[in-house]
Amino acid sequence: KQEVTQIPAALSVPEGENLVLNCSFTDSAIYNLQWFRQDPGKGLTSLLLIQSSQREQTSGRLNASLDKSSGRSTLYIAASQPGDSATYLCAVRPRNYGQNFVFGPGTRLSVLP
Amino acid sequence: DAGVIQSPRHEVTEMGQEVTLRCKPISGHDYLFWYRQTMMRGLELLIYFNNNVPIDDSGMPEDRFSAKMPNASFSTLKIQPSEPRDSAVYFCASSRTGGAVHGYTFGSGTRLTVV
């Protein structure tokens, strides 16, 4: 069974710092991995989608990498801003466990002004 | 594109009442998913549809929960009778190809409170 974990559970950084969020999954047989952002009381917003054949994806200050063989992904946020404060979830789309994503528990990020 | 649309945004109901949550997926998406999110359990998949047909409902917690998709543009999740432990945020998501290529798009969710 595919399991997804995220470390740390919570992170607090001063504005302007570069930071890395980690995501690990137990089964490397995946179609893709997706990073989401969730603001308090809101829905999930897709940030980046990395296909299994790709190593990384970039969008603005965000860069996501994927190392499928080791079961890891990182989300790098450059020059963090208070507006980046949210919970970040990663999810993998397994090849072997039906047609749905398996979500991690999320990392709650606070960027302090 | 208006995205995935859910209604209502908030629902407060008394224990024992029937609750119906609604979802309109993105046009052209052939997969629809219902998730529930709580602090204790995170995001849980309840059921998903492909081309309006329920494929996997193993996540539906009890017989009190039922879901339908009468056409490609509308789905409902019904709880009857509702209980306080059903209080959660319910999300609907849709995708093409089951997320294997294009990932998921989520709605804004329905926050359900059962008192």
Summary mean pLDDT of chain B: 92
pLDDT at B47: 94
- The pLDDT tens digits of the residues spanning B68-79 come to 999 999 999 999
Summary mean pLDDT of chain A: 93
Whole-number Cα distances in Å, B54 to A89, B31, B47, B64, B103? 26, 10, 7, 17, 19
B-chain CB neighbours of A34 within 8 Å are 99, 103-104
Q: What is the mean pLDDT of residues A93-109?
A: 84
With pLDDT > 70 as the criterion, what percentage of chain B qualifies? 96
CB contact under 8 A, A99 and B107: no
B-chain CB neighbours of A99 within 8 Å are 31, 48, 50, 55-56, 98-100
Do the Cβ atoms of B48 and A99 come closer than 8 Å?
yes
Beta bridge partners of A103: A91
- The pLDDT tens digits of the residues spanning A87-100 come to 999 999 888 766 57
